[in-house]
Copies of this chain bind each other. A is one copy, B any other.
């Protein structure tokens, strides 16, 4: 995770880091020559080490996923909910990896699916704990709820990134961590409010829907 100042690293690793940064910033449409220049090497050397551009991307994917896995393991054991809320301030630390993930999700691919699925699974187990401990309401469809929460959260992230890009020119060069913190700031309060009180004043809509789909009654809150 430490994206050291390049000098003591293998050339291979330097190229990989440069690629992660460049791909995260400009997307995978970024040229091999740009990556090579960033890393201070010739385009041919990139191919020499990784076989092809796809090979390079695969290595970036793997590295990023590994970084995330390590980071997540630590976070899951160390943090409280409120710490998580505040943790976004540390986002700069993970800015390049974070940017890469956002881009990977935006442009589709292996990391995207793996990442999202991992998040869903984590959310599910975490919610289960929270329900058991009484801080979170039970659900008729815990798995669906976990997926819903993750899909909306990740999606909100994408929208934030896209709006930040739309504000600038055609070529993005948007700081992902900054965009994240920005959206977080504008959205945290409404989000918390919604999570606390819900949106609707009655369960009529829910009842109607459930009546229309099957015969169950709404569990009381």
Chain A residues at the B interface, C-beta cutoff of 8 Å: 29, 81-82, 85, 105-106, 108-110, 112-113, 116, 134-137, 139-141, 144-145, 147-149, 151-160, 162-163, 165-166, 172, 183, 186-203, 205-206, 208-210, 213, 221
Contacts and interface: CB of A to CB of B under 8 A. Distances in A.
A213 to B, nearest CB: 8
A187 B112 CA distance: 20
Contacts of A156: 148, 151-152, 155
B194 A148 contact: yes
A186 B137 contact: no
B205 A192 contact: yes
Contact of A194 (B108, B145, B210): B145
Most buried by B among A85, A191, A221: A191
A141 to B, nearest CB: 5
A136 B199 contact: yes
Given A81-B205, A158-B158, A139 B193 contact: yes
Given A192-B209, A196-B198, A159 B166 contact: no
A31 to B, nearest CB: 14
Say how many copies of this protein the assembly contains.
2
A203 B209 contact: no
16 contacts: A106-B106, A108-B166, A110-B166, A112-B163, A112-B166, A113-B163, A135-B200, A144-B190, A145-B194, A155-B156, A155-B157, A189-B209, A189-B213, A192-B206, A195-B198, A196-B202
A197 B197 CA distance: 7
Nearest to A210: B189
A195 B200 contact: yes
Contacts of A191: 148
A189 B135 contact: no
Contacts of A193: 139-141, 145, 206
A195 B189 contact: no
Contacts of A147: 186-187, 190
Contacts of A213: 189
B144 A187 contact: yes
A109 B171 CA distance: 11
